[in-house]
């Protein structure tokens, strides 16, 4: 990476900034197949760390991973009427296999409800087999016309949870509980605060009875739907004959849920924390939490500083992901620039003078107000301080993101004209009343591009709650979170 | 699982035994899509543990994970002549996307050389960017006519390593080194001994200059090709224009390797260790290394034994994967039977009398000669002994598998008639001379179904090495390992 590679400032063109970051931080690459994603090692490592964290949360809540076929017969997709209507137009279809035309075309899974439930139906006999708590890490394909790396791609990686329960209450509790798992992951691990709530009927997953989502605010003041959790009722169980014997000996259909997050989260991470210097990775997801840059002029110094760098790395290795950048093909300035662009939380510089003084220089990527960007630390002190500093940065990033979100959220706005101006201007979150009609949702979208992201959960609602619909002025049925979104 | 589910003995019908194990141990399920695999949670957990172990080995040897598109344009596959000839007949082809006929059909990757190298060509400028050491965990599709769970399926999961080097020597060293990584994984983690060596020209990967493999002997005395590692020379670099500037300022094509193992390894595990009682999972890959079965008659006893079981589990949790089977819907006998069928290395029984005596009963799944199947252990003793016992079982399984292999390997066989009899009868490994001609390979295959698995590496060769070709009796060019194979 050349030191003079330009990065468009966010304020000038956020979209250009995003695309440049993705290339310059080596997160994704160009693909010869339209809309398909190439995830480069640095970007994939972030995804791997997300996966490991999420997977542990899924296992702790009793879920087991399994794997189901990539292909599903077109006829299976067609069994749930709303589901096929929602997904069929965006599928990729295999019509030839092994050199022959197939008798029945196969759809590349856009999501797996229609392949999983006919299979799992055989595994469920009685209430004793319930709940069935499954998760799958997989690739899915949805034919997208306009694609952007991580945010919207034809093929993407995700996890899809699929569960079956004996009662509606238990399934709804699962739907809610997984939304909570997503929120905890996003806030604790991604340092990305989210608002949770329910989608309006028009924004539900095709085939779901209720859809819940987490919504985050990006640095350009547009919303990102980061995760969704669906209560499917008995729709899929009826379509695919998933029955069980109840404790009382009756037969009933199971109640299902599904929930997913995808590589889109990497896009969310970029747009939550990145700045005009490049990417900023929260420590818990950073491929390297600390990069040590040794500084030398001659061979004697090189041996000396590399030895000190390696000593520090090996002591910290149990606690932190530390990388020593020992390349002799780049000068220290170019290294500083590269790791800044790649968003490494902490850089540690060690020069010959530092070795003589038994000290190192720690430089933060992100510095909140009131903190020093650069600190001199004794060698022994560094071993104790660096892990704490990394933890502190994780919390500071989350706090800064929350402050940014709150600074760009308004409540109590009841004038539609002001709302339009705001959506055409700075954007952000608007909490306002909604009468419950699809017409008002549609009008706002048409006029401003903004949609109801969710009907927020109680803790996010305003007090007093808005009394009138932002669009038509009639009595509000609920409070809604409006924003322009990705 | 009903207690009286029959399992066909291996000696009666090994193939039936295999299919029954896969179902009864809940490793895989039936798929509505021909040849595609459904991996159930218990089977997937074994694969996850394999993945974690392999991935750590790949990372330790400097490889990074990345992700490349599922689809490749048909034209890309066609750029390397031998490659397309080998793979085109077995591809699945997408001809429709988003409701329209595609201008150029897309092939679902059967392997990724032809999609990775045109992309990665952009990431490589000079020798400083080399070696490029990549790995991908992914699903691939090869249209198979006859499929068997794990062993041969249309879609399967695998890892595919892809590397680029500045010199042929270094690329060949990588090919060899990854073969060694596979061997170490198979022997240390799967407890499955393998013979390593080079494939004959007729058995090479389509597009490779040299192919190396690990070969294991299954309990029915047929060979399983468990992993392959390919030296690709500059074939793909020329086809996809992957050039770099050398240290001397010249331009040259890179030298490539690729190597992979797949969910086929789960099949290898089943057929290496399983017996007439069911699956036997080596401890390092066991979803549960110890299952505690509490035994009670009334509620007071239930509380007592569950408490003791939970106490043991929580103390051992840091060292072992321990599961307490607290179900009240099955009697202890049915639980013993189920965990035996699922191959859990150690069962621990705790009844009221054991609690009173502060002891537990440990029962092995696999018992080598000279060891006790069942041991009474004091509670405190158990905490120290169980982890050691688990380690011991891992080693014992490997030793037993090696002894079985050696008992079914013959050397110095030079009579073709005896060879035919052997291959039509008990099977096993035959080390014998080969003149180097494809005709002799073909004749042996036609007559007996046996093929040359590899030309074994030095440590596996006979002393003295065979002087004559097993088939034609001419002077041998090399020693070959012959067997009927999966």
Q: List pLDDT tens digits, range A326-352.
A: 999 999 999 999 999 999 999 999 999
Number of domains in chain A: 3
d(CA A396, CA A40): 28
Q: What does the pLDDT look like over B400-409, one tens digit per residue?
A: 999 999 999 9
CB A243 within 8 Å of CB A123:
no
Q: What does the pLDDT look like over A248-304, one tens digit per residue?
A: 999 999 999 999 999 999 999 999 999 999 999 999 999 999 999 999 999 999 999
Where does B356-463 show beta strands of DSSP type E? 359-364, 374-378, 409-411, 429-434, 451-456
Q: What does the pLDDT look like over B300-336, one tens digit per residue?
A: 999 999 999 999 999 999 999 999 999 999 999 999 9
Same structural domain, B100 and B153: yes
Q: Chain A partners of B329 at a C-beta cutoff of 8 Å?
A: 128
User: Has residue B45 been placed in a domain?
Assistant: yes
Query: Going by C-beta distance under 8 Å and a sequence separation of 6 or more, which residues neighbour residue B7?
Result: B17, B20, B21, B24, B276, B277, B278, B341
Q: Chain B partners of A71 at a C-beta cutoff of 8 Å?
A: 33, 36, 92, 155
A37, A65, A94: residue with CB nearest B108: A94
Same structural domain, A418 and A312: no
User: Does the distance separating the beta carbons of B96 and A97 come in below 8 Å?
Assistant: no
Same structural domain, A238 and A91: yes
User: Does the distance separating the beta carbons of A105 and B97 come in below 8 Å?
Assistant: no
Q: Each residue of B176-192: b (16+ CB within 10 Å) or e?
A: bebbebbbebbbbbbbb
Q: Tell me the residues of chain A between 49 and 108 that have a Cβ less than 8 Å away from chain B.
A: 64-73, 76, 88-99, 105-106, 108
User: Has residue B204 been placed in a domain?
Assistant: yes
User: Does the distance separating the beta carbons of B155 and A38 come in below 8 Å?
Assistant: no
The answer to whether residue B3 scores a pLDDT higher than 70 is no
Give the best residue of B28, B33, B159 to mutate against chain A (max A CB count within 10 A).
B33
Q: Chain B partners of A104 at a C-beta cutoff of 8 Å?
A: none
Q: How confident is the model at residue A4 (pLDDT cuts 50, 70, 90)?
A: low
Tokens 């002393």 — which residue? B463
Percent of chain A with pLDDT over 70: 99
Size of interface A-B (CB pairs under 8 A): 165
Same structural domain, B175 and B240: yes
The answer to whether residue A412 scores a pLDDT higher than 90 is no
Q: Chain A partners of B70 at a C-beta cutoff of 8 Å?
A: 36, 108, 139, 141, 155
> How many angstroms separate the CA of residue A411 from the nearest CA in chain B?
40
Q: Chain B partners of A91 at a C-beta cutoff of 8 Å?
A: 97-98
Q: Chain B partners of A56 at a C-beta cutoff of 8 Å?
A: none
Same structural domain, A379 and A460: no
Same structural domain, B21 and B165: yes
Q: Give the CATH number for residue B250.
A: 3.30.930.10
Q: Give the CATH number for residue B340.
A: 3.40.50.800
Residue-level pLDDT at B80:
83
Six-digit token pair at B363?
């029962």
Q: Give the CATH number for residue A443.
A: 3.30.110.30
d(CA A266, CA B320): 34
Same structural domain, B241 and B293: no
User: Has residue B4 been placed in a domain?
Assistant: no
Q: Give the strand pairing for B374-378 and B359-364.
A: antiparallel
User: Has residue B81 been placed in a domain?
Assistant: yes
Percent of chain B with pLDDT over 90: 93
Q: State which residues form the domain around B479.
A: 409-483
Residue-level pLDDT at A80:
83
Same structural domain, B188 and B227: yes
Q: What does the pLDDT look like over A430-440, one tens digit per residue?
A: 999 999 999 99
The mean pLDDT of A48-56, rounded to a whole number, is 98
User: Has residue B42 been placed in a domain?
Assistant: yes
Q: How confident is the model at residue B145 (pLDDT cuts 50, 70, 90)?
A: confident
Query: Which one of A226, A244, A273 terminates a domain?
Result: A273
Give the number of residues written for chain B.
486
Q: Tell me the residues of chain B between 131 and 190 that have a Cβ less than 8 Å away from chain A.
A: 134, 138-139, 141, 143, 145, 154-155, 157
d(CA A120, CA B31): 10
The answer to whether residue B213 scores a pLDDT higher than 50 is yes
Query: Which one of B273, B294, B321 terminates a domain?
Result: B273
Same structural domain, B108 and B249: yes
| Residue spans of alpha helices (H) in B284-378 | 299-316, 332-341, 352-356
Same structural domain, A414 and A327: no
Same structural domain, B121 and B227: yes
User: Has residue A116 been placed in a domain?
Assistant: yes
Nearest CA in chain B to A145: B98
The percent of chain B in helix, strand and coil, each rounded to the nearest 5, is 40, 30, 35
Q: What does the pLDDT look like over B246-262, one tens digit per residue?
A: 999 999 999 999 999 99
Query: Which one of A373, A395, A417 terminates a domain?
Result: A395
Same structural domain, A121 and A259: yes
Q: What is the ipTM of this complex?
A: 0.96
Residue-level pLDDT at B129:
96
User: Has residue A404 been placed in a domain?
Assistant: no
User: Does the distance separating the beta carbons of B33 and A71 come in below 8 Å?
Assistant: yes
User: Has residue B9 been placed in a domain?
Assistant: no
The answer to whether residue A245 scores a pLDDT higher than 50 is yes
Q: What is the CA radius of gyration of chain A?
A: 25
Window from A216-220, A300-304, B401-405, B464-468 with minimum mean pLDDT:
B464-468
CA distances, B140 to each of B70, B91, B112 (Å) = 8, 10, 9
Residue-level pLDDT at B4:
54
The mean pLDDT of A125-131, rounded to a whole number, is 96
Closest to B391 measured CA to CA, from B255, B290, B263: B290
Q: What does the pLDDT look like over A308-321, one tens digit per residue?
A: 999 999 999 999 99
Q: Chain A partners of B88 at a C-beta cutoff of 8 Å?
A: 99
Judged by a CB distance cut-off of 8 A, whether residue B294 touches chain A is no
> How many angstroms separate the CA of residue A63 from the nearest CA in chain B?
9
């Amino acid at each position: 990476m050349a030191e003079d590679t330009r990065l468009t400032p966010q304020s000038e063109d956020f979209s250009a900034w995003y695309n440049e970051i993705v290339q310059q931080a080596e997160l994704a690459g160009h693909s010869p197949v339209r809309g398909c994603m190439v995830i480069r090692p640095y970007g994939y490592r972030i995804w791997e760390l997300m996966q490991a964290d999420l997977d542990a949360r899924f296992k702790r809540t009793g879920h087991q991973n399994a794997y189901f076929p990539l292909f599903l017969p077109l006829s299976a997709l067609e069994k749930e009427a709303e589901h096929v209507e929602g997904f069929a137009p965006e599928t990729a279809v295999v019509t030839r296999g092994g050199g022959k035309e197939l008798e029945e075309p196969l759809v590349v899974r856009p999501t797996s409800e229609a392949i999983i439930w006919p299979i799992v139906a055989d595994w469920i006999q009685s209430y004793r087999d319930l709940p069935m708590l499954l998760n799958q890490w997989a690739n899915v394909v949805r034919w997208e016309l306009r694609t952007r790396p991580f945010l919207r791609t034809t093929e993407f990686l995700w996890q899809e949870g699929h569960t079956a329960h004996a009662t509606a209450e238990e399934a709804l509790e699962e739907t809610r509980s997984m939304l909570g798992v997503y929120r905890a992951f996003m806030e604790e691990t991604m340092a990305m605060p989210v608002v949770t709530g329910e989608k309006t009927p028009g924004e539900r997953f095709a085939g779901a009875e209720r859809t819940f989502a987490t919504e985050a605010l990006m640095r350009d003041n547009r919303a990102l739907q980061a995760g969704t959790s669906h209560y499917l009722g008995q729709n899929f169980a009826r379509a695919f004959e998933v029955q069980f014997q109840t404790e009382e000996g009756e037969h009933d259909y199971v109640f299902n849920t599904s929930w997913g997050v995808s590589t889109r989260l990497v896009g969310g991470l970029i747009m939550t924390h990145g700045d005009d210097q490049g990417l900023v990775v929260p420590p818990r997801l950073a491929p390297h939490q600390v990069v040590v840059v040794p500084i030398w002029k001659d061979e004697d110094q090189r041996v000396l500083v590399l030895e000190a760098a390696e000593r520090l790395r090996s002591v910290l290795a149990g606690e932190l992901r530390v990388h020593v950048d020992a390349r002799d093909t780049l000068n220290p300035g170019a290294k500083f620039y590269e790791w800044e662009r790649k968003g490494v939380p902490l850089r540690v510089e060690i020069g010959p003078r530092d070795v003589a003084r038994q000290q190192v220089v720690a430089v933060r990527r992100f510095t909140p107000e009131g903190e020093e960007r650069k600190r001199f630390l004794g060698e022994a002190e560094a071993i104790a301080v660096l892990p704490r500093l990394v933890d502190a940065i994780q919390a500071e990033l989350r706090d800064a993101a929350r402050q940014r979100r709150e600074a760009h959220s308004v409540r109590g706005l009841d004038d539609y004209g002001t709302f339009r101006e705001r959506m055409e201007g700075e954007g952000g979150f608007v909490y306002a009343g909604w009468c419950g009609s699809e017409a008002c949702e549609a009008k706002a979208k048409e006029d401003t591009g903004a949609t109801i992201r969710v009907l927020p959960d109680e803790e996010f609602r305003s007090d007093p709650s808005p009394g009138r619909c932002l669009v038509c002025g009639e009595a509000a049925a609920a409070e809604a979170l409006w924003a322009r979104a990705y």
